[in-house]
């Protein structure tokens, strides 16, 4: 092998398409744009979703639902997940460190799924009525 014999791999290089350079190029006359119509003309195109004046799909379909931007800041923890923790004092920082809630969570609520066997003290963590009753019954407290 010599430096003057090195070539790029097959298919690695391709040449720029030169349109409108005569019949022999294969892209002469209309330059690959076909005949007439909006798409054949300079500056003639349309916005995304345009359907030629017909009512576009995104306007034909009904608007539905709403997704709050605040959802990413809310989190839920189950009673069975709390049972797995060693600590008796539960707060948002501790739940983040344990990986039970996401790092963005600001509002955390305990829901009644599963049973609670230990006494927990909740600080800055909400609880549903049923979860609160279960925690109090197990000897814990909700602050």
Range of the domain at 127: 69-142
102 and 131 share a domain?
Answer: yes
> Positive or negative CA dihedral for 124, 130, 131, 132?
positive
Of 17, 48, 49, whose CA–CA distance to 33 is shortest?
17
54 and 75 share a domain?
Answer: no
The domain that holds 116 is classified in CATH as: 3.100.10.10
CA separation for the pair 62, 100 (Å, rounded):
37
47 and 93 share a domain?
Answer: no
Q: Model's pTM, two decimal places?
A: 0.56
How would you class 8 by CB atoms within 10 Å of its CB: exposed for 0-12, middle for 13-18, buried for 19 or more?
exposed
Asked if residues 116 and 134 have their Cβ atoms less than 8 Å apart, the reply is yes
48 and 89 share a domain?
Answer: no
- Long-range contacts, 1-6 (Cβ 8 Å, 24+): none
Residue 27 domain flag:
yes
Domain count, the chain: 2
Residue 89 domain flag:
yes
Instruction: Write down the residue that tokens 């920082």 correspond to.
Output: 93
Asked if residues 105 and 98 have their Cβ atoms less than 8 Å apart, the reply is no
Q: What is the pLDDT of residues 48-101, one digit of tens each?
A: 999 989 999 999 999 999 999 999 999 999 999 999 998 889 999 999 999 999
75 and 57 share a domain?
Answer: no
Residue 1 domain flag:
no
Which one of 29, 61, 93 terminates a domain? 61
Residue 7 domain flag:
no
Of 58, 31, 32, whose CA–CA distance to 47 is shortest?
58
Q: What is the pLDDT of residues 11-63, one digit of tens each?
A: 999 989 999 999 999 999 999 999 999 889 999 888 999 998 999 999 999 99
């Amino acid at each position: 092998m010599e430096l003057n014999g090195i070539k790029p791999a097959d298919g690695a290089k391709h040449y720029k398409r030169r349109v409108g350079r005569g019949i022999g190029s294969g892209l002469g006359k209309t330059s690959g744009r076909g005949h007439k119509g909006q798409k054949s003309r300079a500056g003639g195109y349309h916005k995304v979703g345009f359907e030629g004046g017909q009512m576009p799909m995104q306007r034909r379909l009904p608007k539905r639902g709403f997704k709050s931007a605040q959802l990413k800041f809310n989190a839920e923890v189950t009673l069975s997940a709390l049972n797995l923790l060693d600590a008796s004092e539960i707060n948002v920082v501790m739940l983040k460190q344990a990986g039970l809630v996401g790092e963005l969570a600001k509002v955390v609520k305990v829901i009644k799924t599963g049973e609670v066997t230990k006494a927990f003290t909740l600080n800055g963590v909400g609880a549903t009525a049923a979860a609160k009753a279960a925690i109090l019954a197990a000897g814990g407290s909700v602050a």
